[in-house]
Structure formats: C-alpha cells, structure tokens
Amino acid sequence: MNTERIISNTEDFVKETLINAEGGHDWFHILRVWNTAKLISKDENVNGFVVELGALLHDIADSKFHAGDETIGPKIAREFLESQLVDDSIIIHIENIISNISFKSSLPADRGGNFKQKFNSRELEVIQDADRLDAIGAVGIARTFNYGGSKNRPLYNPEISPNLNQSKEAYKNSEAPTINHFYEKLLLLKDRMNTKTGKKIAEERHLFMETFLQQFYKEWEGKL
C-alpha cells in the first residue's frame, strides 16, 4: 500500500468534493486541520497515516449541511478509501473518527450532551484537537461569524441568553445570535483538549477570544 500516493489522492478528492463548501468548512479548513494534526502528532504515539487520512476526511460531508444525516460522511469516506484499496481495518478507524469527532458527542449530559462517544483512539484525539483549535482564536472567530452570516443570524441580542443545556438536535438547529456560540461552544473547547500540544495552543487562542469579547461589548455599549 503506497501511503504517500493515497494521501495525495485523498487531498485531491477532498479539494474537489468541497469546492463549493461554506467558507468555514471548505478545503482551507481541512488544510489547517491537516497541518495542525501533523504538528500535534509529532509529540504523540499515533499512526501517522490514519491521522492524515482522518484529518483530510473528517468533514467530507458535515451533517449540518446534509439535513442532519450523520451517516453520509463515513459512507463517502469508505467508498473513496475502498477505491484506493486501503485496508478495511483502517477504513473502519476513519469511519469511527468521522462519527465521533463532533463537539457535542463529547459533552457530558450536564453541559448539553446527549450522545455518548462510542469510540476513542489516540488518532481521534489528535484530529479532534486540531479540529477544535480551528474553531477558536482569530480563525475561529472569523469562521463563527461567517457561518452565522450564512444562516442570517443576528450578531448579538442582549435579550437572548446562551443556552448551555441544549440537546444535540437543538444545538445543531439553533438560530441564536452568533455571540451566543462563544459561550455554548468556543469558550468550552480549551478544557476539552486531549493532547499536551493541543492544550498549549488552546490557551493562547482562548485568551484572544476573551479579549475580543471584551472589546465587542465595549463597542456594542458605546463605551469607546
């Protein structure tokens, strides 16, 4: 099995598949997660081939853009990897990574989680950290407002408070102001990191978001 060729073919496949994807979940999101996963992997005992394939394919068909269908991503990934003659054990691992990478799947019940993560591996933890890191910091802020704008959500409404106890379904279908998303997800991610490298990077990006929010509220209230 020529792993370099398979990774190159996977890169081409993902670029083509996501050519018209929403800006926060497009090829450049995949590229950032891929690069960050490789960086984190340097300090982890993982299968690098699985990490690279998982990072490249983790958002090949995000359920929120496919009527909530959480089976389509693993299905597309399997069909592609079978065409590349990848070992079935690796394909199963990639399917499990795609199915269990989401933020809500790892939240405890008292923070809105209603879906128990059924699979774990060091490779999943690395990719999960890389994906979460792309949701915070400067890029994370840009992605959040880009997605909120695509859904015509208001920037902020002081009368609508964040909901930290939503069901997984309510979380996915939320029409709340974009600022609420910081409290419902982004500011929680720092404490959900799995790896030493992920935790270190998250600290800096978390502080950046806190500074952004402080500035946002000052400007909103006309205090500057």
Give the pLDDT confidence of 164-219 residue by residue, as tens digits: 887 666 666 678 999 999 999 999 999 999 999 999 999 999 999 999 999 999 99
Alpha carbons 172 and 34: distance in angstroms, whole number: 24
Interhelix angle 88-100/122-133, nearest 10 degrees = 40
d(CA 21, CA 25): 6
How many structural domains is the chain composed of?
A: 1
pLDDT, the chain, mean: 89
Question: From CA 90, how far away is CA 77, in angstroms rounded?
Answer: 11
Enclosing domain of residue 107: 3-220
What does the alpha-carbon distance between residue 57 and residue 97 come to, in Å, rounded to a whole number?
A: 9
The residue with greater pLDDT, 156 or 118, is 156
Q: Find the mean pLDDT for residues 105-133.
A: 74
Looking at residue 47, its amino acid is N
| Helices 3-17, 27-41: inter-axial angle, 10-degree rounding | 150
CATH code for the domain in which residue 19 is found: 1.10.3210.50
**Helices then strands (H, E): number in the chain?**
10, 0
Task: Look up the pTM and report it.
Answer: 0.89
Cα–Cα distance for residue pair 20/41, rounded to 1 Å: 30
Q: Within 42-121, where are the H helices? A: 48-57, 72-83, 88-100
